[in-house]
Amino acid sequence: MYELIFITVIALLITFGTGNSQAQSRDQQRSYYDRNGGFAGSSIDHGKDASFYDRSGRFSGSAIRNSDGTTSFYDKSGHFTGSSVDTTQRK
């Protein structure tokens, strides 16, 4: 009985531990600079969405890539602020 519980717990730890590390390795951080070379802010790309931060590190908004090729933008309060269409030609 205890052996079955032990094996189940180990299987769950492996399953959830592996999934979490894969999600974190996908996140990419990018820094932005103004025309004078001063740090202006950063973003973290999470796959389909991205979070943006000002130069003080405060959250300033997000963007979500939609399945129809558009991107929706939201301010720091979560209010929709606009969208864009991907005009890049596909290869």
Question: What local confidence, expressed as pLDDT, does residue 68 receive?
Answer: 86
Question: What local confidence, expressed as pLDDT, does residue 62 receive?
Answer: 92
Alpha carbon distance 46, 17 (integer Å)? 18
User: Regarding beta strands 59-65 and 70-75, do their DSSP bridges make them parallel or antiparallel, or are they unpaired?
Assistant: antiparallel
- The DSSP code for 42 is E
Question: What local confidence, expressed as pLDDT, does residue 20 receive?
Answer: 46
Q: Which of residues 16 and 84 earns the better pLDDT score?
A: 84
Question: What local confidence, expressed as pLDDT, does residue 8 receive?
Answer: 58
Q: Please report, for the chain, the start and end positions of each structural domain, with discontinuous segments joined by +.
A: 29-86
pLDDT (tens digit per residue) in 7-59: 555 555 555 554 444 445 567 888 889 889 898 889 889 888 899 998 899 99
- What's at 81, amino acid-wise? T
Tokens coding 70: 């558009």
